[in-house]
Amino acid sequence: MTRALLCVPLLLLACSSGKPPRDFPERFAWGAAVAGFQVDMGCPTLPAEQCEDRRSDWYEFVTTSELPDTNGYVARDPLSRGPGFWELYEQDLTRAKDELHLGSVRLSLEWSRLFPTATDALEGYEALRAAADPDALAGYHRIFAAMKARGLSPLVTLNHYTLPTWLHDGVGCHKSLANCTRRGWLDKERAVREISKYAGFAAREFGGEVDTWATLNEPFAVVLSGYIFPGEERANPPAVTLQYEAARTAMLAMIEAHARMYDAVHAADTADADGDGAAAQVGLVYAMAPAKPKDPASALDVRGAKQLFYVFNTAFLDAVCKGELDEALSGRPTRREALAGRMDYLGVNYYTRLTVAGAEEPQFAALSSMTAFNPVTLSLWEDYPRGLYEMALHVKERYGLPIIVTENGTVDPKDDGTGESFLTRHVAALADAVREGADVRGYYWWTLIDNYEWNHGMGMRFGLYGVDPADPSKARTARRTVSSYARIIDAAQ
Ligand code: BGC
């Protein structure tokens, strides 16, 4: 096919630079992403107790009436307004294949759905299987079978933010971090031990259906929005403010958890689901963002942007990608062999770039040096496609790892072309990175269907397909991005 033919009208932006996205490698995974908590609930006919997973910290966080001081930033949308993927997955997967022409869907297992009660006393696959919820096991096997039947390969995130309530009392810890008893990531040893067991169990149970695994989703977002700057943009339980020591513990716990989950998945998943010779590819999903000084002429802003880039992107990723752990965020990491070599690919979530206005003294002596970034303007949702190119090349140069763009997307509630333009320009930027040698293996749009957007409830719509939360049937409506994404995929293949 000639280059000119590939320049179908909706690709004009990509083609205007003479660079259509056909440079993507042959086995490139074109996909869309969802996450369990955000899409499963809200089933039209299944009884709520079968559809809703009520045992996660997030469920409690968005449904409790006991968090007066988070008023304003927890939408309190009932989960019944969700899109009901747990029941409607067949039709969503059919659309993913037939209308979008996707090759893959990224989804997450919900730890609390599989293990509604504590697993501390259990050892080994058989004991864990006896304790796992049979409906959850059957439900996930059905979803994977439906994917296989349609030729869709799964990318499975083991932990997309939510923790079981037996491990984390997000509401209690919000009220009193010092006195709560189930402290989630702050109970570092327990959290790492139990999540690794769960990861090993899932890898054995579903290894015959899944080859690509992600351990954690955006761990640094959990640190920032959980323990430092919870706010309207994002508030993760326990949503406490400026708790630097706790933030540091949570960060170290998640770094350790990734490495141990990586080991557990590789040990347990020996089945090659797609016959390509590899039983498991295990990575971590990280939200990456370039940081720009608000005023490039201000030395303070320039220094602030560099510092923010280090804390936001580099410190965590150096630990999980290179085994260089900067425990105190001092800028002087030490080598930890037990962390090194445990990343088969890096999942990059890319949405925007950060703007930094001002920095005080650059002290990385503790996570409390985050105060050095105040005032920081986290100008989220800046539409900056070039950042995807910049991050892909940064990963290539610093880590030399394969990249999967595990999330990229925008809200497009009015279906006014915003989504199409965002998609086309970001794919073009990614194609530029591929041409410059970045080893990019996949691209997933966030999200397949309108989702429960954490503390915003159903108030932010990212879906390729719109879902009206008030419609009891939860019918899906294709947005214009569906046909433009399908054309991009067709042209690239
Ligand atoms: C998360 C998703 C979220 C999306 C849009 C990412 O931070 O992984 O769960 O819905 O961004 O905000």
Q: How far is the CA of 126 from the centre of ligand 1 (A)?
A: 34
Cα of 342 vs centre of ligand 1, distance in Å, is 24
Q: Quick count: other Cβ atoms within 10 Å of Cβ 16? A: 11
Please tell me the number of Cα atoms within 13 Å of 178 on its side-chain side. 0
Cβ contact 355:377 at 8 Å? yes
Count of CB atoms situated within 10 Å of the CB of 55? 21
The tokens describing 20, both together, are 């259509």
DSSP letter at 81? G
Sign of CA dihedral 195, 280, 222, 88: negative
pLDDT in tens, 206-229: 999 999 999 999 999 999 899 988
Residue 22's pLDDT band (boundaries 50, 70, 90)? low
Nearest-angstrom CA–CA distance, 486 and 442: 15
Got the DSSP string for 44-112? SSS-HHHH----BHHHHHHH-S--GGGTTT-----GGGS--HHHHHHHHHHHHHHTT--SEEEEE--HH
Could you confirm whether 232 is annotated as catalytic?
A: no
Cα dist from 115 to 122, 385, 403, whole Å: 11, 39, 31
Token digits of residue 119: 């697993």
CB 116 within 8 A of CB 68: no
Which range of 14-18, 243-247, 300-304, 436-440 scores highest in mean pLDDT? It is 436-440
- Token representation of residue 458: 């159903």
Candidate list 60, 205, 218, 256, residue with the active-site label:
218
Q: What is the pLDDT of residues 60-110, one digit of tens each?
A: 999 998 876 665 678 889 999 999 999 999 999 999 999 999 999 999 999
Task: Give percent above pLDDT 90 in the chain.
Answer: 76
Ligand 1 neighbours, Cβ below 6 Å, are: 35, 38, 217-218, 221, 287, 349, 407, 446, 453
C-alpha closest to that of 44 among 101, 3, 91: 91
Coil, helix or strand for 26? coil
User: What is the 130 CA–ligand 1 centroid distance (Å)?
Assistant: 33
The pairing of strands 212-217 and 281-287 is: parallel
What whole-number distance in Å separates Cα of residue 356 and Cα of residue 374? 9
Q: From CA 110, how far away is CA 131, in angstroms rounded?
A: 15
- Please report which confidence band the pLDDT of residue 5 belongs to, taking 50, 70 and 90 as the band edges: very low
> Could you give phi then psi for residue 436, rounded to 5 degrees?
-95, 15
Dist CA 202 CA 396 (whole Å): 30
Radius of gyration of the chain (CA): 21
User: pTM of the prediction?
Assistant: 0.93
Tokens of 240: 């406490």
pLDDT tens per residue, range 303-314? 888 888 888 899
Q: What residues form DSSP beta bridges with 466?
A: 477
Determine the distance from the C-alpha atom of residue 469 to the mean position of all C-alpha atoms in its chain, rounded to a whole number. Answer: 23
**Calculated CA dihedral for residues 289, 321, 268, 154, nearest 10 degrees:** 30
Q: Is the Cβ–Cβ distance between 290 and 247 less than 8 Å?
A: no
Q: How far is the CA of 475 from the centre of ligand 1 (A)?
A: 23
Whether 407 is a known active-site residue: answer yes
Ligand 1 pocket test target in 159, 407, 410, 456 with most atoms within 8 Å of CB:
407
Beta pairing partners, 349:
287, 407
At 465, list the tokens.
Answer: 């397909």
Segment of 65-69, 247-251, 257-261 carrying the highest mean pLDDT: 257-261
Mean pLDDT of the chain: 90
What pLDDT, on the 0 to 100 scale, is given for residue 72? Answer: 67
Digit-coded pLDDT (tens) for 188-198: 999 999 999 99
